[in-house]
Each structure stands twice: as structure tokens, then as C-alpha cells.
Amino acid sequence: MTAEEVCPVVLQVRGVVLPEREERSFWIDGDRLRTDPVPHADLVVDGGWLLPGLVDVHTHPGTEGIEDPFSDEVLRRHLVDHRDAGVLLVRTPGSAARMPGWVDEDPDMPRVRSAGRWLATPGRFFPGFGRDVSEADLVHAAVEEAKASSGWCKVIGDWKHSEPALPLEILTAVVQAVHMAGGRVAAHCQTAEGSRNAVLAGVDSLEHGMHLDPDLIGRMAAQGTAFVPTLSVFGATADQRRAGAPSSTRDWWLAGWEGMLPNVSAAHEAGVTVLAGTDSFPCGTVTSEIEWLVHAGLPAEAALGAASWSARSWLGLPGLVDGAPADLVAYDTDPTIDTSVLAHPTRIILRGRVVS
């Protein structure tokens, strides 16, 4: 038995904690933060700025294309990419397969909140990429996926702009059943009808929300529907779309994109929980989503919170307080003043262990 096994090393960190902007010290006991001092602890962060580990609330690790099968090897690589960027908690709203058990057991992996497999009714997704179900079977399937995952299920609420969205009465029944089972519903929506139905049905998170009617933002705030706009994945192709040949699809897409930034700003102002999700590859790029949220008009602190403390609270985890998971990222300077420092963490601690 080694000396460390007899008396495990206790780590100490100290710095200015966000969002409170208070200088604090924590001692890491196992995988938990503690505020009671421990003599002779190993000081691994001395000064700077401390954040709860970053969060990507819309990422799909495990496969990179509709032709690629879900792979544990790819999943591990994607999660490591997240971790090495300081993203220590991810939500996977839909996947080609349910998360394997080793994800939660591996201390080197970020914490994962999954939503099981995408639930797609006929004509509303890539065939066979998620879980294809009939409209009649959707309620049962949604409850099943929520119970088999981290309490979430993901419903494809619409697909092609020329096709009807999932009917409001069916999506409403899904939300009611999943809520009765103690779960939550994320809805993919990129058409006006789909976004409208998702809000009226009372989903817990609106994913993308293209063509969202701004008159529905107040209802989102009142009922607690979060907005995950995934701006970076849309913004990455906006110029290419504008340069493309005119078509009904191009015009529809551009009209939706033009409304997204104003809607994100209006949602924040109305008190909607706006969160950061990338929905793109490579993994570990949530900082680009933070920058897009700032571009949309969110204050830098709110945009950073959307990928850190606010996202953690929404997913049921605390920030940097006594007893919280020891998942944190340290920076030399205040990242709310210069978000570019987010790409250069000075220390990453996951589950009480120093990653870098």
C-alpha cells in the first residue's frame, strides 16, 4: 500500500469565482469541493479566475455522419476533445444509440446527460439514423427513451420546410406523458410550424428554433422552455448559403437565419434560459457558440453562463460551492472581458483530478 493510498493527496484551488466574483479557496476531497481548510494540501491553482466546468448542451458524440455507425471509439475521442477544451459536462439531445454504461463510470470522461435516441416519425429525419416510430407509437417511445437515459428524450418536431411538422396534439401528448414519468423533452425545430408547436406543447428545450415567431418568446419565459439556438452551426454556412443559387430552400433558410440573432437577444431580455450548444464537429468548440451568443446581443457574462453555471443549474448541478462536483476550469484573466482566453485554460480539473 502506498502513502497516497493511506493518506490521499488533497488538492487546493483558489481564485476569483464566477459568477459571484468573489475570491475563494476550495479543497478537493475525492471528487467534491470543500470549503473547510485541509493542512498541507497540494495547491494546484493559485489565483486567476475559476469557472464551473464548461457545458455543451447540444452535442452528438459517437458518430460524425449519417453513414457512420455509432462507435465507442469515436464516442471516447469526441468526449476527450470536449474535456480537453474544458467542457466537463455535455448533454446529448439525441444519438444514433443510447449511451453505453462505461461513459458514466470512466473518471476520465466528462459527465454526460443523454436523451436516448432521436425519435423520428415518418419523413421527419434521416431514415434509420435515430429511432423511427409511428405517430401512434411516439408517446410510448418518448417515455421509454426518457426512462432509459438521463431523464431526457429528443423528438424531431419537423424536418423539411415543405412538409408538415409533427402535429401539435401529438407533441402535447408526448410532453404530458414524459413529464408524468419525471422526464423532460427536447424538440428539434427549424420551421415556423414546428417551433410554434414545440412552444405551445410546452417542451423543456427548443433546439435550433429557426423561424420562431417572436410573439411566442413571452410564453417560453413563462413556462420555462429553454432556447438552445446552436448559432455557430448555422453561422458557419451562412455566407455560403447567401452565395448559392436562388431557390425556395435557400430563401427559406436565409429568412430563418436572419431572425435567429434578434430572437436570441429578445429571448434573453424576456428571461428565457438561453443555453450554448454546438451541434457540430469537431467537438470541444463551445467557445465559438459563446462568441455567437455575444454577437447576438447577450452580455458576455450571460453568454459565458450559458456554457457554464447557468447550464449546470438548468441540468441540476451546482456551481462552485461546498459539496459540488470538483469540475472546474481556471483562467489567468477574466473571460467575461476577453472571451478569447477561454481557448487557453490554465488548469482543468474533472471529478477531482487534474486533467491539464
Q: What is the DSSP string of 119-185?
A: EE-TTSSSTTTSEE--TTTHHHHHHHHHHHTTSEEEEE----TTSPPPPHHHHHHHHHHHHHTT-EE
Q: Per mean pLDDT, which range of 64-68, 94-98, 151-155, 280-284 is the poorest?
A: 64-68
Domains in the chain, CATH or no CATH each: 3-52+319-354 (2.30.40.10), 54-307 (3.20.20.140)
Are 200 and 223 contacting, i.e. CB atoms less than 8 angstroms apart? Answer: no
- 278 has a pLDDT exceeding 90: yes
Q: What pLDDT score was predicted for residue 68?
A: 84
Mean pLDDT for 232-238 is: 95
Please state, in angstroms and rounded to a whole number, the distance separating the CA atoms of residues 224 and 306. Answer: 15
- 6 has a pLDDT exceeding 90: no
Beta bridge partners of 350: 353
Q: Per mean pLDDT, which range of 68-72, 115-119, 136-140, 349-353 is the poorest?
A: 68-72
Residues whose CB is less than 8 angstroms from the CB of residue 25 and which lie 6 or more positions away in sequence, other chains included: 12, 13, 14, 35, 37
Residue, of 3 and 199, whose pLDDT is higher? 199
**130, three cell numbers:** 435515430
DSSP 98: P
> To the nearest whole percent, how much of the chain has pLDDT over 90?
95
Residues whose CB is less than 8 angstroms from the CB of residue 338 and which lie 6 or more positions away in sequence, other chains included: none
Mean pLDDT for 91-103 is: 95
Among 148, 145, 150, which Cα is nearest to 133's?
A: 145
- 1 has a pLDDT exceeding 60: no
